[in-house]
């Protein structure tokens, strides 16, 4: 955002070099792999949340200097939590559903909830000028992200029936929610095609990722209650996106 502000107020910047842009599209997030922050010497627990395809929107304010561009960008992406697997050192734990013949130990469990990411990025671009004002470009950016988990829970609640069996019913509990911040970075490439003197259609691929961040209260029961270790976990978020939008000169 500082780059964009300098760009817009620069004495030598021309109106044709400044622009705003907006994009939207689909994202394909990677599995959210949570590992206990307290590392036990014999084994380490983990949780893998499988995330479904989601959506991604971006807005940016920028300035071009020949083949180079600088911009400030705000983005938002969201996806649903679909499945989960808990395990130890890469080996999934058995689940009560396994004993009932509903699941196998290697199968994920059905989940509900969502993961959203709000990001502020400073981006740099290099444009490769082609004929008819068409541009191919590469981009990289760095910034901060606020990652939120909302109402993450199993679809089915399981309780013992007192006779060695289990009772299954829909889980109506609100689930786990938490928000935290992390450093974020992204890489991408795209093509921009002019439709008028100041407007271009912009098609882009983007890879987005954060640094590790802490998710409190979802770690191993063993660590928290027997060893006295932390019940926190650490993870990171990453996603692939395909975006389509407009870039408008101002």
Distances (CA, A) of 188 to 100, 137, 139, 141, 209: 47, 8, 5, 9, 12
pLDDT for 225 equals: 47
Mean pLDDT of 26-30: 97
The phi, psi pair for 227, rounded to 5°, reads: -85, -15
- Other Cβ atoms closer than 10 A to 55: 13
- pLDDT tens for residues 54-68? 999 999 999 999 899
- CATH architecture designation of domain 2-249: Beta Barrel (2.40)
Q: Which candidate, 243, 3, 245, places its Cα nearest to that of 120?
A: 3
**Interior/surface letters 205-226, b for 16+ CB within 10 angstroms, e for the rest:** ebebbbeebbbeebbbebbbee
Q: In this structure, are residues 107 and 87 in contact, taking their beta carbons and an 8 Å threshold?
A: no
The token pair that represents 195 in the structure block: 């439709």
Q: Provide the Cα torsion 76, 217, 34, 143; round to 10°.
A: 30
* Confidence class for position 6, pLDDT limits 50, 70, 90: low
């Amino acid at each position: 955002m500082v780059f964009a502000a300098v760009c817009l107020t620069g004495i030598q910047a021309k109106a044709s070099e400044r622009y705003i842009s907006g994009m939207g599209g689909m994202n394909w997030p990677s599995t959210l792999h949570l590992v206990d922050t307290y590392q036990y010497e014999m084994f380490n627990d983990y949780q893998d949340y499988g995330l479904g395809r989601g959506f991604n929107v971006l807005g940016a304010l920028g300035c071009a200097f020949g083949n180079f561009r600088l911009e400030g960008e705000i983005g938002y992406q969201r996806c649903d939590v679909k499945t989960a697997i808990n395990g130890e050192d890469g080996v999934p734990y058995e689940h009560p559903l396994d004993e009932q013949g509903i699941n196998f130990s290697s199968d994920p469990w059905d989940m509900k909830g969502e993961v959203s990411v709000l990001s502020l990025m400073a981006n740099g671009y290099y444009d490769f000028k082609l004929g008819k004002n068409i541009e191919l470009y590469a981009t990289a950016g760095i910034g901060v992200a606020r990652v939120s988990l909302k109402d993450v829970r199993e679809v089915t609640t399981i309780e013992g029936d007192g006779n060695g069996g289990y009772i299954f019913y829909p889980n109506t509990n609100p689930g786990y929610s938490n928000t935290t911040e992390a450093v974020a970075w992204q890489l991408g490439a795209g093509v921009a095609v002019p439709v008028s003197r100041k407007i271009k259609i912009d098609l882009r691929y983007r890879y987005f990722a954060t640094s590790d961040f802490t998710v409190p209260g979802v770690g191993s029961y063993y660590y928290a209650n027997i060893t006295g270790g932390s019940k926190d976990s650490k993870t990171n978020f990453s996603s692939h996106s395909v975006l389509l939008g407009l870039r408008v000169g101002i």
